[in-house]
Structure 1
Amino acid sequence: MVPARVIALSPLALVILALSGCSTLGCNDTTAERGKAGARVQVVNTNGQPLGVTAVVVDWRLEPHPQVPSEGDRVHFRFRFDGADEYSGPAVDACAVDKKRVALGCQTIYSSQAFGPADDPLTGDDWLAVEHPEQVAGVLLIPNDQSHDRRTCEVDVKDGGGIHPPEPPSRGDRL
């Protein structure tokens, strides 16, 4: 039998431990390292393990967007996700780059965006707006899966934490 005084002091001891930083609910956020960009990449999870999905830039060209032709040329590119589930598959960042592989404009594309003819149902297309389209030398994909936005420790100490995808690339990043 535990004395009543010990039972009464137990909650107080837990509060003191929690306030001193000795809590058992440790929450750590880490960011995965950005993988090497390419026109064809094996999509990887936050631990760097392949998901069994390949993302591919099928082709690209400069042309005015049909809905806003007055804005000039944009990068129109087609992509494919081989091995993806079209409803809940991965996402990768796509970037228009110059000859030195410097990002001129980027955005995330999802395998669920893919649509196309019956012989290639996981092919889709999208547009990238860049400031100087004449500098575009290609479109590259970054292999890190961006489809899961895990909670951070800052947002949720109890359920957050873990490895998060790398920050999305921005204009000026070298890929």
Structure 2
Amino acid sequence: MFPARLLAGAPLALVILALSGCSSPWGCTDATAERGEAGVRVEIEDTSGRPLGVTAEVVDWRLGPHPQVPAEGDRVHFHYRFDGADEISGPGVDACAVDKDRVALGCQTVYSSGAWPEPDGALTGDDWLVVEHPEQVAGVLLIPNDQSYDGPTCEQDIKDGGGTHPPEPVGTGDQL
């Protein structure tokens, strides 16, 4: 079916492919983006720090019990707005309740795809943050780094992984 010369060269071809950059760990590197400056209104940026042309803003916030679990005490209820975002696959940012010193008390990621379209083209939504000491909350801040896509790492996929990934999520106690 195949000439003997072609079959004899097959192992050599496999060795060449195995040594090429396609399967080599030397070409795959991971990096983590630097966390941007938190604010009430932020220009969302990709992992390289370039603006996406989308802004996110905390419109307002208040303390109060969640209507579905009032016995659990006060939580932080906040409203947010995305301008310039795509309804379906738009960006996501970390939202954090902070104390007067801008220390994170509780955080979670909010996505523009989870918001509702407004007549002016903005996307708005609301969410709840759970914090251990709600009486310490002085505000809600957004981190400008887009959290909507974090591709595979080199460890997960040596061939297609690597590149710059969003910064580590903000944790309770982090200074913003």
Do both share a fold (TM > 0.5)?
A: yes
Shift of 1:13: 6.4
Tell me the SS of whatever aligns to 1:61.
strand
How has the CA–CA distance of structure 1 residues 70 and 24 changed in structure 2, closer, same or farther, with 3 Å as cutoff?
closer
Tell me the SS of whatever aligns to 1:70.
helix
Find the counterpart in structure 2 of residue 125 from structure 1. Answer: 126
Find the counterpart in structure 1 of residue 140 from structure 2. Answer: 139
Confirm or deny: 8 A CA contact 1:44 1:143 kept in the other structure: yes
Shift of 1:123: 0.9
Normalising by structure 1, we get a TM-score of 0.87
Normalising by structure 2, we get a TM-score of 0.86
Percent of counterpart pairs with the same letter?
A: 70
Find the counterpart in structure 2 of residue 164 from structure 1. Answer: 165
Confirm or deny: 8 A CA contact 1:75 1:133 kept in the other structure: yes
Does residue 1:98 correspond to 2:89, yes or no?
A: no
Matches of 1:58 and 1:33 in 2, distance apart?
A: 26
Matches of 1:127 and 1:110 in 2, distance apart?
A: 13
Q: Deviations over 1:66-110 (max 9, x none)?
A: 000000100000000000011110000000000000000000000
How has the CA–CA distance of structure 1 residues 156 and 119 changed in structure 2, closer, same or farther, with 3 Å as cutoff?
same
Q: Deviations over 1:116-167 (max 9, x none)?
A: 6645751100000000000000000000000002000000000000000001
Find the counterpart in structure 2 of residue 79 from structure 1. Answer: 80
Matches of 2:28 and 2:92 in 1, distance apart?
A: 26
How has the CA–CA distance of structure 1 residues 84 and 117 changed in structure 2, closer, same or farther, with 3 Å as cutoff?
closer
Unaligned residue ranges in structure 2 (runs of 5+): 1-5
Q: Which moved more, 1:58-67 or 1:111-120?
A: 111-120
Whichever residue aligns with residue 83 of structure 2, its letter is D
How has the CA–CA distance of structure 1 residues 131 and 116 changed in structure 2, closer, same or farther, with 3 Å as cutoff?
farther
RMSD, aligned CA:
2.5
